[in-house]
A and B are shown apart, each in its own frame.
Chain A
Amino acid sequence: MKTADTAHNEGSSAFAKAAEQESRAAELELQGVSKRYPGQREPAIADLSFTVPAGEVCVLVGPSGSGKTTAMRLINRMISISGGDILLGGHSVLQRDARELRREIGYVIQQIGLFPHQTVGENIATVPGLLGWSKERTAARVKELLELIDLDPQGWAGRYPAQLSGGQRQRVGVARALAADPPLMLMDEPFGAIDPINRMRLQDEFLALQEKVRKTVVFVTHDIDEAIKMGDRIAILREGGHLAQYDTPREILTHPADDFVAEFVGADRGIKRLSLTTLGELKLAEPNGLQPGALRAPAQTSVRDALSMILTANGEPLAVVDGDDRVQGLLTLSHFEQLLSEEASANGRAPGNGAADAGAPGDGATAREVS
């Protein structure tokens, strides 16, 4: 189901050292949810319905004004619902006391919002404190979470947020949200304020962490590339809070529901789709006549990055290596023709028209309209 994250498991991920914790996750279902602000003619959210299976990451993505953050904040009732219902684990969130509900939902925002006057340890202990956990249980959980985010509890628990780097703060923010083992996490552009290199690291770390904890996650971003990378499913919203399409990243890239989605994912969606496949998943050529010093890339590399490497090297073949640096096979430009024809036959379409039809509405028999 999840294809994107296999590319990001490797490496010295901080989150990957997850303790083997038992972990809860719950299905989230939005049923015809709407939000109207008094005095405004157009609703901010209109009849929004989708279901996030337990343990999956759903990315809400869309241009500004599409109501993605509003939709997220309806879930933990930071914003009150005007119509419809939201079920968490089969129970309506509207029936719950709002404070109790929020203590059960992890909450991460772009500016992180760590409490500057509290140490890292005290910050992480916030929700356990509100839930009245014992000192021992809280201390043990704080230690476990600090190890999970690769901060030595000895050296870091007593520091203040001002003493952390941006990336460390964000990781502490995630740890704080995970403290009471919530079945659902809400993340509002959590990596939006981080520089591109560290953002990529944090994304990879979070995906590795998610492999372990398997939370249901609602992740808001305006960045379609981040949505493709992070999401098991993507909900694309358009202005006025209408759901344009709700699908897996591959489906959205292959069969955009309409002009708006096609334009939003970009004319390069054919290339973006390559980022969903890793070299290890391809049938490779025998590595005959491999030059010493040829291009090499590990099997976890995405096909998109591999293509970029080959193009940068003026079309040289690329040796795909395993974890022990043994050559497994060769990737050449001719593979991409084959790749396209395979995709095309799978989709019942002719190869070679990927970018050209980006604007055509309802292209392909399998394109779907989501109401």
Chain B
Amino acid sequence: MSGYAATLAAAGPVIPNFGAHSSKCVVENRFFCGDWVSRNWDSVLWPALRQHVMLTAIAVGIGFLISIALALAAHRYGWLERPTLLVTTILYTIPSLALFELLVAPVGANIYAAEIALVSYTLLILFRNILTGLREVPDEVLDAAEGMGMTRGQALLRVELPLALPAIVAGLRIAVVTIIALATIVYTIYDKGLGVPIHTALGEGPFKTELLVAGGLTVLLALVADGLLVLLQRVLTPWTRARAT
């Protein structure tokens, strides 16, 4: 950290390569240049933000579908839990930069490689949380559901999944924040997302304004997404806030 700051100081004024219209603020690489942000919002920042949202949404969406299928299978057939955990844990622990590069050879440097890598990092988190949620449904509740004549499918849809929702949403929150952070290195193989302006800014010595705004947008995106999921949970699980009056 301090070494990094020293480099910054030693670098002195640099002239970022952003065309002839660079303002004095940009030329002196001050902490934050509002004019640069407004000039580059439409062409650089906003597209990168949108791409970042898409990268995350696709990864978490696909990861969720795979995880819920795996969790339902492991819920029904308990022996599936161990092998699934083993595989998803291995995927989760592969260094992300390495995984991106590994996928380029078979898949190519494209969105597929990016999403395959991102999805693989959601599986462990989502699978564990969904399975935990399903397993935490009280036995007597399941017994009552069966005793009143529900089929397995009815019990799953009407009782088990709704009761697992708090744990499922908790898993989604971790997965979304993790993928938003991780997607900033997608640029290494695929030229999209907030990782692109961050990388550019670093290459410029670094260019403080761009680094700050692109990094800040990543953090903001994570906070907003997390907040939306909290809101979603409040809407979907009103019973969790019901207390004796």
Q: How far is the CA of A76 from the CA of B143 in the complex (A)?
A: 12
Stretch at the interface among A41-49, A136-144, A156-164: A156-164
Cross-chain contact A99 with B144 (CB below 8 angstroms): no
Query: In chain B, what residue has the closest Cβ to A100?
Result: B149
Given contacts A116-B141, A130-B149, 15 further A-B contacts (CB under 8 A): A99-B151, A101-B149, A107-B147, A109-B140, A111-B140, A114-B141, A115-B145, A127-B149, A130-B150, A160-B239, A162-B239, A162-B243, A163-B244, A164-B244, A186-B147
Residues in B228-245 with C-beta less than 8 Å from chain A: 237-239, 242-245
Nearest residue (CB) in A for B154 is A130
| Cα distance, A164 to B242, chains bound together (Å) | 10
Most buried by A among B159, B163, B239, B244: B239
The answer, among A98, A107, A164, for a CB contact under 8 Å with B144, is: A107
B35 adjacent to chain A (CB < 8 Å)? no
In the complex the two chains form, is B146's CB within 8 Å of A115's CB? no
Interface membership of chain B positions 134-160, coded 1 if the CB is closer than 8 angstroms to chain A and 0 otherwise: 000010111111111111001000110
Say whether A117 faces chain B, with CB atoms less than 8 Å apart: yes
Contact partner of A78 (CB less than 8 A), chosen from B138, B146, B154, B238, is B146
Q: A residues bordering B, Cβ < 8 Å?
A: 76, 78, 98-104, 107, 109-118, 126-127, 130, 159-160, 162-165, 176-177, 186
Q: At the interface, yes or no: B16 with Cβ under 8 Å from chain A? A: no
Cβ-defined contact, B239 with A116, below 8 A: yes
A100 to B239, CA, bound (A): 30
Q: Give Cα A46–Cα B227 distance, bound, in whole angstroms.
A: 60
A113 nearest CB neighbor, chain B only:
B144
Query: Is residue B162 contacting chain A, with contact meaning CB distance below 8 A?
Result: yes
Which of A102, A111, A118, A165 has a CB less than 8 Å from the CB of B148?
A102
Q: How far is the CA of A112 from the CA of B243 in the complex (A)?
A: 18
Q: A111-B140, A115-B141 are in contact. Are A127 and B148 (CB under 8 A)?
A: yes
Contacts A116-B163, A117-B163, A162-B243 given; does A109 touch B143 at CB 8 Å = yes
Shortest 10 CB-CB contacts between residues of A and residues of B: A113-B144, A102-B149, A103-B149, A111-B140, A107-B147, A160-B242, A113-B140, A99-B149, A160-B239, A117-B239
Contact A113 B141 (CB under 8 A): yes
Q: Given A117-B163, A117-B237, are A102 and B147 neighbors across the interface (CB < 8 Å)? A: yes
Contact of A113 with B143 in the complex, beta carbons under 8 Å: yes
Known: A102-B149, A117-B237, A127-B149. A163 touches B144 (CB 8 A): no
**Residues of chain B at the chain A interface (Cβ within 8 Å):** 138, 140-151, 154, 158-159, 162-163, 165, 237-239, 242-245
Residues of chain B lying within 8 A (CB to CB) of residue A116: 141, 163, 239
Least Cβ–Cβ distance between A183 and chain B, in angstroms: 14
B143 to chain A: which residues have CB within 8 Å? 78, 109, 113
- The answer to whether B242 touches A126, judged by C-beta atoms less than 8 angstroms apart, is no
* Residues of B close to A164: CB separation below 8 A: 244
Nearest B residue (CB) for A130: B149
CA of A365 to CA of B213, assembled, Å: 98
**Residues of A contacting B163 with CB < 8 Å?**
115-117
Given known contacts A99-B149, A109-B140, A163 and B162 CB-to-CB distance under 8 angstroms:
no
Q: Among A100, A127, A162, A186, point to the contact of B244 (Cβ < 8 A).
A: A162
A110 to B139 alpha-carbon distance, docked (Å) = 12
CB distance from A129 to the nearest CB of B (A): 8
CA A160 – CA B239 in complex, angstroms? 6
How far is it, in angstroms, between the C-alpha of A177 and the C-alpha of B162 when the chains are bound?
22
**Please, which residues of chain A bring their CB within 8 A of the CB of B243?**
162-163
CB-contact partner of B147 in A109, A110, A118, A162, under 8 A? A109
Distance in angstroms from B55 CB to nearest chain A CB is 33
